Structure 1
Amino acid sequence: MKKIFSRCAAALMLSAIVVAAIAEEAAGTAASVSVAKPIPALLISNAERGMLLGIARAGDQIVAVGGNGVIVRSTDGKTWRQAKSPVDTAFNAVGFADSKHGWAVGHDSVILGTSDGGATWAIQNFQPDLNAPIFSILPLSSQQAIVVGAFGLIKTTDDAGVTWRDIDAPAISSDKLHLNSIAKLNNGKFAVAGERGLVGLSADGLQWTRIATQYEGSFFGILPWKEKGAIAFGMRGNVYVCDDLDAPAWKKIETATTSSFFGGETLSGGRVLLTGSDTTALMVSSDGVVAALKKIGNGGNGDSSLTGSLKIPSAEIFIGESGAILTAGD
């Protein structure tokens, strides 16, 4: 396996080797904080050029998070400002319910909350002794959100993060597989994706069923697909679509690449943009075929991995090991 993939997988904490020390799930208590004292992230020059693993929009602000507790903000994808972070552990994802309220999640079971569009952040959960990274956040409202992570970790809040409680979901958690991604589908239901081809479906985010797939590798992401379905993507170019998760029939998309996909974004017209290792970006059309496969320029670092993207007017922002990359839109 390529060296760059190993580095990125470790950075995302998607490798079982990296997180094998996880022994238990985090407790669902108010502002859970470990005995270990969090260390604020350093403020550095050009923080947007370091590893970034998650990106989201908060009104007119673009917020990206990544390694060493970095949080950066921009209005145009060109000029970035680093926000103060109360922890220096890596963030895997960020999400906003509206222009003000959002969360950032990552290593050490950290959950940070913001109520001012990402200008300031407060610790809601921090438990490094658990060695349980959180991989994905799904904001539902200013008060509600769901997070998923390693070894079947799944938590929810309905009070803006004052308390986070564990969700008892044996159908997707009993095997202690990593839950790498959570998404809200176009019909209002919820889906998760993870190791060993795991896909879960829920009508309310609390009661879950596991959906059969023919894939045995890791899914790193899942997104809405058509009215009732999902598109799941992961290792070595594997991408599958299902038009209706209530009556699942999966179709493998021939991607013509062995690059692994770590991030994805739904675009207009039902298209999906996937990003992954070796600076690979893949556009899937609404009929489930590859519309474009290309490499994203990043200053000559051709082995760098991409971890996500965000469409802005007339441009696309890609993020990854080489930081934020602004390209012309389609």
Structure 2
Amino acid sequence: MSISKWVLLAALAAALCAPFCRPVAAQGFVDVLDTPAQMSPLAQHGLLVGVTRAGERLVAVGQRGHILYSDNGGERWQQASVPVSSDLVAVHFPSASQGWAVGHDGVVLHSSDGGVTWERQFDGRQVGPAMLRHYQPLAQRAPDDERLATLVGEAQRMTEEGADKPFLDVWFENERVGYIVGAFNLIFRTEDGGRTWTPWMEHTDNPSALNLYAIRPVGDELYIVGEQGLLLKLNHATGRFEARPTPYSGSFFGILGKPGVALVYGLRGNVYRSMDGGENWSQVQTGLPVSITAGTELADGRLALFSQAGHLLVSSDGGSSFQLQPQPAMAPVAGAQSAGAKGLVLVGTRGVRQLPVQ
């Protein structure tokens, strides 16, 4: 299995911490799913992995359940109240008030106040049982369906193993309909704002159960990318995420674009572009040997990509080409979000920072 961008960045964070961090004495086990995130003035300087907009507010998520929000374009940050201390990797707000965050231990958090306070809606202890409730009746009605039988077996295994499977991305179409995706083809859908989550594994063309790293729309099309060059596109008529061939067999970490232009990016500086709804892809030269781990659209409509090392690439022609932009200092980037006239807000191994963009 290929490693995710979170693992790449966590390894970097550990390397940075090693000379300064000391081991602590062993203590009794406390489940991170039952332990609220600690409030810390240093939270904005720790490992943060995802950042998004909630209306005019910015919201960032990261290790140990840390969630931060800013109402002034990233100049000052406040820490949110979070009921878990699991590492969080992705966040999305379909509106200014309603948002969801996901991460390790299968955790799904919901906020109804723009990211100030959060509640746990779902976690890894519920994943296996939810799958069993969904797939056992389907398998009983279709005893010759090998895939349903396999999914029942997976549900039983996940129930026994407990909360160790991460969700790696979240996206909501509106305040009620949304998706969460993660390791080993984990995908759930909700139609009631996350009060209930329905397994959707049988809706994906992913027989090898490859990891799903990102889910995002481009125009009216909804894509999922993952390891080994996996690219899935939702067929709205059939309700299936259908596989689309790509010319690359390495992991894709993200999706970026605008109506008529889709970009996928991932390991070793690889970026591919489609102009026909994901049917055909051509490589975009980046000139970088390191992984592309984040992307966003700038306030003026240009597209920006960031590398694991912190390189900034900007396109003024809809992703046909990218130019490397000089920076006074670089740091690994896991997520990026436009802050309007104030440029960009970046998150990564060194926490959150602002970056002016020319």
Q: Hey, what's the Cα distance between the residues in 1 that align with 2:81 and 2:292?
A: 30
Q: Hey, what's the Cα distance between the residues in 2 that align with 1:121 and 1:93?
A: 14
Question: Given the alignment of the two structures, is residue 78 of structure 1 paired with residue 105 of structure 2, yes or no?
Answer: no
State which drifts further: 276-285 or 190-199: 276-285
Measure how far apart 1:63 and its partner are.
0.5
Measure how far apart 1:7 and its partner are.
4.3
Matches within 5 A, 1:109-124: 109-124=106-121
Question: Given the alignment of the two structures, is residue 182 of structure 1 paired with residue 215 of structure 2, yes or no?
Answer: yes
State which drifts further: 232-241 or 131-140: 131-140
Q: Hey, what's the Cα distance between the residues in 2 that align with 1:288 and 1:99?
A: 29
Measure how far apart 1:8 and its partner are.
1.2
Measure how far apart 1:37 and its partner are.
5.0
- Cα 1:325–1:290 shift into 2, 3 Å: farther
Aligned match of 1:30 = none
Alignment size in residue pairs: 298
- Cα 1:37–1:318 shift into 2, 3 Å: closer
Q: Hey, what's the Cα distance between the residues in 1 that align with 2:317 and 2:114?
A: 32
- Cα 1:295–1:150 shift into 2, 3 Å: farther
CA contact (8 A) 1:50 1:322 kept: yes
Give SS of 1:305's match: coil
Measure how far apart 1:295 and its partner are.
5.8
Structure 1 unaligned runs (5+)?
A: 13-34
Q: Hey, what's the Cα distance between the residues in 2 that align with 1:138 and 1:266?
A: 17
Give SS of 2:34's match: coil
CA contact (8 A) 2:216 2:223 kept: yes
Q: Hey, what's the Cα distance between the residues in 2 that align with 1:37 and 1:306?
A: 27
Larger radius of gyration: 2
- Cα 1:86–1:178 shift into 2, 3 Å: same
Match of 2:47 among 51, 55, 59: 51
- Cα 1:36–1:294 shift into 2, 3 Å: closer
Q: Hey, what's the Cα distance between the residues in 2 that align with 1:147 and 1:154?
A: 6
Match of 1:215 among 239, 244, 248: 248
TM-score by length of 1: 0.84
CA-to-partner distance for each residue in 1:169-228, whole Å, 9 max, x for gaps?
A: 454332110110111121x1211111010101113393121000110000011123442x
Identity percentage of aligned residues? 32
Aligned-partner residue type, residue 324 of structure 1: V
CA contact (8 A) 1:226 1:270 kept: no
> Over aligned residues, Cα RMSD in angstroms?
2.4
CA contact (8 A) 2:48 2:60 kept: yes
Measure how far apart 1:40 and its partner are.
0.7
Give SS of 1:131's match: coil
Q: Which has the higher helix share?
A: 2
Q: Hey, what's the Cα distance between the residues in 2 that align with 1:151 and 1:291?
A: 32
Question: Given the alignment of the two structures, is residue 306 of structure 1 paired with residue 333 of structure 2, yes or no?
Answer: yes
Q: Hey, what's the Cα distance between the residues in 2 that align with 1:164 and 1:176?
A: 19
Aligned match of 1:62 = 58
Q: Hey, what's the Cα distance between the residues in 1 that align with 2:263 and 2:322?
A: 15
Q: Hey, what's the Cα distance between the residues in 1 that align with 2:32 and 2:39?
A: 21
Aligned-partner residue type, residue 54 of structure 2: A
Matches within 5 A, 1:105-184: 105-127=102-124, 129-169=162-202, 171-184=204-217
Measure how far apart 1:10 and its partner are.
5.3
Structure 2 unaligned runs (5+)?
A: 14-30, 126-161
Question: Given the alignment of the two structures, is residue 196 of structure 1 paired with residue 196 of structure 2, yes or no?
Answer: no
Match of 1:285 among 316, 335, 350: 316
State which drifts further: 100-109 or 128-137: 128-137
State which drifts further: 129-138 or 150-159: 129-138
TM-score by length of 2: 0.77
Q: Hey, what's the Cα distance between the residues in 2 that align with 1:185 and 1:257?
A: 25
Q: Hey, what's the Cα distance between the residues in 2 that align with 1:201 and 1:9?
A: 29
CA contact (8 A) 1:70 1:85 kept: yes
State which drifts further: 163-172 or 190-199: 163-172
